[in-house]
Structure 1
Amino acid sequence: MAARPDVPLDMLDRLREVLSALPSCTEEDAWVGVRWRVGSATVAHVFGGEDGLFRITFRAEAEELMAFERLGPPYFRGEWGENVVGMLLDERTDWGELAELLVDAYCIQAPARLAARVERPA
């Protein structure tokens, strides 16, 4: 089995900038990579794959899930959970778009009282 690479610090820094600004969103080491949680709910999980590629998974609204599937790469549907979307991270990643998706994911996972404190993208 190939080793999974560590997530590059520049990727983690970009993700931290978005996720650490969200109320009660905490970072922790995951079984592989790093994840951010609000309470016991995972908001996002970034990791290196055995293929050397980097991925992030997050939650999406049910009606958006099929759109992500149809878009294809860099998006993919998670193999667990009903609303898990994944995205390959590389030099072509649109970090602004990803930031919006992560804020949406937070609002899906967070209690309503915390989600109400977040300004969501239009």
Structure 2
Amino acid sequence: MSATPPPLDRLRSICLALPEAQERPSHGEASWFVGGGRMFVTTADHHHDDRVALWAAAPAGVQEHLVAADPERYFRPPYVGHRGWVGAYLDVPVDWARVEDLVVDAYCLVAPARLRSAVEKPGAGG
């Protein structure tokens, strides 16, 4: 039986699987960028509270929907929540399929079109 990778390692694998994604620290946290330095996901490891989480750029309405539907897992992050970013706790049982969807959506919001088209889901409407 193989051990489950730590949440940060699993998140890193998801982010770095995307075309031209790069990891570098931002404000002391692991963060992922694309397209000339546009951040699409960052971590929050006890930076603002006692929780481990990710923050991701999100399409309009996603943050509100997830927070209302499951506030034990999702939240409005400080500093970027007013721009629609969504937070997802990584110190609870994580729905990794949902996290992967959030990461891909975040990437597609900020990546240049030439990169975005390679990862967009069929029927996503661009």
TM-score for both structures, normalised by structure 1: 0.82
Q: 8 Å contact 1:32–1:47 — kept in the other structure?
A: no
User: Are 2:37 and 1:40 equivalent residues in the alignment?
Assistant: yes
Cross-structure match for 2:60: 62
User: Are 2:118 and 1:117 equivalent residues in the alignment?
Assistant: yes
Question: Identity over aligned residues, as a percent?
Answer: 34
Q: 8 Å contact 2:53–2:87 — kept in the other structure?
A: yes
Secondary structure of the 2:63 match is: helix
Mean Cα deviation higher: 13-22 or 43-52: 43-52
Cross-structure match for 1:49: 46
Q: Show CA shifts across 1:75-113 (max 9, x none).
A: 111233411111111241111210111011100111111
Structure 1 unaligned regions, length at least 5 = 1-8
Superposition CA RMSD, Å: 1.9
What is the CA–CA distance in structure 1 between the aligned matches of 2:27 and 2:63, rounded to whole Å?
A: 25
Cross-structure match for 1:6: none
Q: 8 Å contact 2:108–2:120 — kept in the other structure?
A: no
TM-score for both structures, normalised by structure 2: 0.79
